[in-house]
Amino acid sequence: MCGIVGFVGNQQAAPILLNGLSKLEYRGYDSAGLAVRSGSELAEVVKATGKLKNLREKTNDGYALSGNCGIGHTRWATHGVPSKTNAHPHVSGNCTGSASGAVESDVVGVHNGIIENYQELKDKLIRHGYQFYSDTDTEVVIKLVDYYYKKYKVGPIDALAKTMVRVRGSYALEVMFKDYPDEIYVARKDSPMIIGIADGETYVASDVPAILSYTKHVYYIGNNEMAKLSAGNVVFYNLDGDEVEKDLVEITFSAEAAEKGGYEHFMLKEIHEQPKVIQDTYNAYVKDGDIDFSNVGLTAEDIQAFSNVYIVACGSAWHVGMAAQYVFEDLANLPVRVELASEFRYRKMPLASDGLVVVISQSGETADTLAALREAKSKGLKTLAIVNVVGSSIAREADYVCYTLAGPEISVATTKAYSTQLIVAYLLAMKMGVVRGTLSQDVCSGYLKEIETIPQKIESLLADKERLQWFASKYSNAHDVFFVGRGIDYAIGLEGSLKMKEISYIHSEAYAAGELKHGTISLIEDGTLVIGIATQKELYEKTMSNMVECKARGAYLMGLTTSGHYAMEDTADFVIYIPTIDDHFAGSLSVVPLQLLGYYISVSRGLDVDKPRNLAKSVTVE
């Protein structure tokens, strides 16, 4: 949550900062602000509540601010309501600026993350005469930097290091010091931050898309590290203040990959990218007809040593785990537990020391998932991450890293990352099955052929999307929607339900169909929309019976099943068919109409599809 940007170079900073922030709005969008300075002039601070366009209007697209060094922030409120006062940047002085916006403060900064001991630090600073104008933890950390800077009369790096030792929590922190013109100082722990370099220009951002139109060359700053940025130059430091060498990394995806490319919304574009990114991800792990995780360092001996699998994730990534568990159990005959990272990290669960913990995360920065990974490692278990963002914290800390090749995902509601995570999970389950002798090479090859058909089958589903568009416009005023299914269909229902509620704000629930009769069925009344998912042959009849029970209570039934089950039309009012595919992989197809349904309902209701209220894509707080 929250996005930060910074720039120092030869150009005017503010338009570049605003452009960067526009690529980070998915990280938070309740307020935004900039601090820009020219040489030894005071920094000018401008903030606006609401979406970034308000800040653009206020600063004439940045051209109202003069200076070639600056920092910026888009906020997702944690401490303190969304307001101009609580918006970043924050300053070490008593307010964020005069009418002109110029601030007298010695330190001005922005922050993504959360300072857990901010209250204790705030009390200490108040005792030392500091006053606070906002409710934020960020103002506390900026004033703490100022406190150490002055108390010990040290340079910016030492002041930051002293601050880092004192604060608990996570931060990607960017600060400018009045006495150090044309320089930006940064510090990082557990919140993402990258630094880009081009001819005489230096960029900072929470994520690569923010700087991709300026440079493809980035440094990944490590945990508990700091850096001094000047025009075209970066020096990295560890906590002791010693310089650290870093490799410059070239980003392989283009700036266009993070643009809408003619689609009305990122979500629709990303739904349409699924065939390609599934193919790319598959190609990364299947070589000459064989599943190959050697580039991940996962050997047959490693796999043989695992007695069970714990899948840990949040949100849609957890739903991937819910679907994958059936495949792991069936193909690899391994006991699997799927845990929400926010629960896993705090429960006192006895873990088998020879278990494998699989964490799944698009961003690789989700605070709970990262903490769960660390918890597992501290207990001595091996960890494997299925992750999309290269160089993210989870990718850096896991023992084995399986990247998904979804490319940048901008829409808050995930689609293509989810689909690529599923593919990696299938391949992992199959590889484990082959190594453990529970899946023959022949059957495995047959399954691979089935997976290879997924991209083309998704294309055919996308070609028929108008039916869903029509259905969505008819049902866009629904109050409650229930998704029911069994096994993998239940797991897909969980994802369909999340897509529906997060972007269309319609209350929805997903139930294991057999559970309906234990309570939920009392909520079904005339016209309630029930979406029955029945792609699993063995479970088809059972789910149909549950759908009939709903119909008998007045439900309007939408069915989602595999081509050939045309009898479903005798019961359901509206049926969507997915192409036939082996049951294990049906989720990769059945999720697509549900993504489209959520999308079109949100569009019909006139909502902001890509940036739903109160949500952020990368959840870096607990």
Q: Which of 369, 383, 393, 543 binds ligand G6P (CB under 6 A)?
A: 369
Q: Which residues contact 218 (CB under 8 A, 6 or more apart)?
A: 194, 195, 196, 197, 208, 211, 248, 249, 251
| 174 beta partners | 110, 186
The residue among 35 and 395 lying less far from ligand G6P, judged by its C-beta, is: 395
Tell me the helix, strand and coil percentages in the chain, rounded to 5. Answer: 40, 25, 35
CB closer to ligand G6P out of 28 and 89: 28
Number of chain residues interacting with ligand G6P (CB under 6 A):
15
**What 3-state DSSP class applies to 455?**
helix
Question: Exactly one of 37, 617, 620, 621 binds ligand G6P (CB under 6 A); which one?
Answer: 617
Active site residue 617: yes
| Residue 95 within binding range of ligand G6P, rule CB under 6 A | no
> Taking contact as CB under 6 A, which single stretch among the options 16-24, 33-41, 140-148, 358-366 is the one that binds ligand G6P?
358-366
| The binder of ligand G6P chosen from 22, 31, 414, 536 (CB under 6 A) | 414
Contact 54, 48 (CB under 8 A): yes
CB of 338 to ligand G6P, least distance (A): 14
Q: How far is CA 43 from CA 35, 102, 168, 608, in A?
A: 6, 6, 28, 34
Dist CA 282 CA 286 (whole Å): 6
Q: Which of 555, 558, 562, 608 is nearest to 582 (CA)?
A: 562
Which amino acid makes up residue 368? D
Cα–chain-centroid distance for residue 134?
Answer: 28
Annotation says 2 is catalytic: yes
Per CB under 6 A, which region of 28-36, 99-107, 223-231, 357-365 contacts ligand G6P?
Answer: 357-365
Confirm or reject binding of residue 38 to ligand G6P (CB under 6 A): no
Question: Is 561 within 8 Å of 543 (Cβ atoms)?
Answer: no
**Nearest distance in Å: CB 387, ligand G6P:** 8
- Tell me the closest approach of the beta carbon of residue 334 to ligand G6P, in angstroms: 23
Distance of CA 382 to the CA centre of its chain: 23
Which residue number, 418 or 426, has a Cβ lying nearer to ligand G6P? Answer: 418
Binding part of the chain for ligand G6P, among 113-121, 309-317, 371-379, 518-526 by CB under 6 A, reads 309-317
Listed ranges 311-319, 373-381, 483-491, 577-585: which one lies at the site for ligand G6P (CB under 6 A) = 311-319
Identify which range of 75-83, 343-351, 478-486, 614-622 contacts ligand G6P by CB under 6 A: 614-622
> Residue 581 in contact with residue 592, Cβ under 8 Å?
no
Asked if 500 is part of the footprint of ligand G6P (rule: CB under 6 A), the reply reads no
Check: CB of residue 396 under 8 Å from CB of residue 581.
no
Q: Which residue is nearest to ligand G6P (CB)?
A: 315
Q: Report if residue 265 touches ligand G6P, rule: CB under 6 A.
A: no
Near ligand G6P by CB under 6 A: residue from 361, 528, 588, 590: 361
Q: Is 615 in the site for ligand G6P (CB under 6 A)?
A: yes
By three-state DSSP, how is residue 104 classified?
coil
Is the Cβ–Cβ distance between 539 and 551 less than 8 Å? no
The answer for 53, left when phi > 0, alpha when psi is -120 to 50, beta otherwise, is alpha
Residue 191 found at the interface with ligand G6P (CB under 6 A):
no
Instruction: Choose, by CB under 6 A, the member of 62, 101, 169, 315 that binds ligand G6P.
Output: 315
Least distance in angstroms from the C-beta of 366 to ligand G6P: 3
Stretch that binds ligand G6P, among 42-50, 356-364, 431-439, 600-608 (CB under 6 A): 356-364
Establish if 366 lies at the interface with ligand G6P (CB under 6 A). yes
Which residues, numbered 553-572, are part of the site for ligand G6P (CB under 6 A)? none
CB-nearer residue toward ligand G6P: 586 or 619: 619
Question: Rounded CA gap, 338 and 40, in Å?
Answer: 55
User: Parallel, antiparallel, or unpaired for β 556-562 and 529-534?
Assistant: parallel
Q: Does 314 bind ligand G6P (CB under 6 A)?
A: yes
User: What mask, x for binding ligand G6P by CB under 6 A, covers residues 384 to 413?
Assistant: ----------------------------x-
Question: What is the rounded (10 degree) CA torsion for 279, 382, 490, 509?
Answer: -110
Q: Which stretch binds ligand G6P (CB under 6 A): 153-161, 185-193, 361-369, 591-599?
A: 361-369
Cα 562 to Cα 39, 461, 535, distances in angstroms = 65, 12, 5
Q: Is the peptide bond before 455 cis (omega within 30 degrees of 0)?
A: no
Q: Could you tell me which of 465, 499, 466, 502 has the C-alpha nearest to residue 483?
A: 499
316 binds ligand G6P (CB under 6 A): yes
- DSSP letter string, 13-69: HHHHHHHHHHTTGGG--SEEEEEEE-TTSPPEEEEEESSHHHHHHHTTTTTTS--SE
Of 100 and 223, the one with the shorter C-beta distance to ligand G6P is: 223
Write out the two tokens for 40. 């030894």
Phi, psi of 511 (to 5 degrees): -130, 145
Q: Any contact of residue 340 with ligand G6P (CB under 6 A)? A: no
Catalytic residue among 2, 314, 402, 444: 2
Question: Least separation, in Å, of the C-beta of 29 and ligand G6P?
Answer: 13
Provide the token pair at 446.
């047959």
Binding of ligand G6P by 611 (CB under 6 A): no
Q: State yes or no: residue 192 binds ligand G6P (CB under 6 A).
A: no
Interface residue with ligand G6P, options 362, 404, 504, 561 (CB under 6 A) = 362
CA atoms within 13 A on the CB side of 14: 26
Shortest approach of ligand G6P to residue 215 CB, angstroms? Answer: 24
The token duo for 236 is 């990295």
Interface residue with ligand G6P among 19, 78, 363, 588 (CB under 6 A) is 363
List residues with catalytic annotation: 2, 617
Q: Which residues are near ligand G6P by CB under 6 A?
A: 314-317, 361-363, 366, 369, 412, 414, 615, 617-619
